[in-house]
Amino acid sequence: MREAMIVWGGWHGHEPEKCAGIIRDMLVEDGFSVRIETETKAFADPAIHGLSLIVPIYTMSKIEKAEAVNLAAAVQSGVGMAGYHGGMGDAFRDCVEYQFVVGGQWVAHPGNIIDYRVDVARPDDPVMQGIASFPYRSEQYYMHVDPSNEVLATTTFSGEHADWIAGVKMPVVWKRRHGKGRVFYSSLGHQAHEFDVPEMRTILRRGMNWAAR
């Protein structure tokens, strides 16, 4: 049986505990055994090197150097990592080791909660199969991203809330490799109710399964 670890905490505005429960249920349905932790010290546990998948849900906050180094080494050795929105893409802002694994970092969401469009860039990819471009209401994440990411979906900024980024096409969903490990990220999912959007839920679920060793 594949083993996954969810580590939740950080800023409560993203409802990390509630979302961790939703993700746990999805993973259990998909045949994983799931361990749930609430402190970043879980990332320093040597046992994580034997996991199939790690799902961080830890917006902002701090991670100790030893924790980040062990996490990165686990992924580099083949453990998958997958996550979404600020729980993975706006975690541990001062830790470059962590950001190197993720392949991006949140920097802004102009307009806060707005209506925007998610455009499927790789309809041939199994994660996106059968999903057409769709409207979405949430924070439209502006991110600094790694050029080595394999981008599966994008969004385009209108410039209404920051005119200097009008027309910028920004990755929303990507996958990448970090050493032998697979890494998946989706910027969708500000709060738990967004898991009710079929496209958001399906993309994340497929991405977690793709990333898992």
pLDDT more than 70, % of the chain: 100
Of 96, 183, 188, residue with least CA distance to 140: 188
CA distance 129 to 153: 12
With a cut of 50, list the residues of the chain below it in pLDDT.
none
Farthest-apart Cα atoms in the chain, separation: 50
Beta-bridged to residue 155, according to DSSP, are 170
CA distance 124 to 69: 35
- Quote the pLDDT of residue 62: 97
- Quote the pLDDT of residue 210: 98
Domain boundaries, the chain: 2-211
Give the single-character DSSP code of 133. P
Residue 213 CB burial class (10 angstroms; 0-12, 13-18, ≥19) = middle
- Quote the pLDDT of residue 175: 98
CATH 3.40.50.880 fits 2-211, yes or no: yes
- Quote the pLDDT of residue 123: 98
- Quote the pLDDT of residue 6: 98
Torsion angle of C-alpha atoms 43, 44, 49, 53, degrees rounded to 10: 0
Give the single-character DSSP code of 38. -
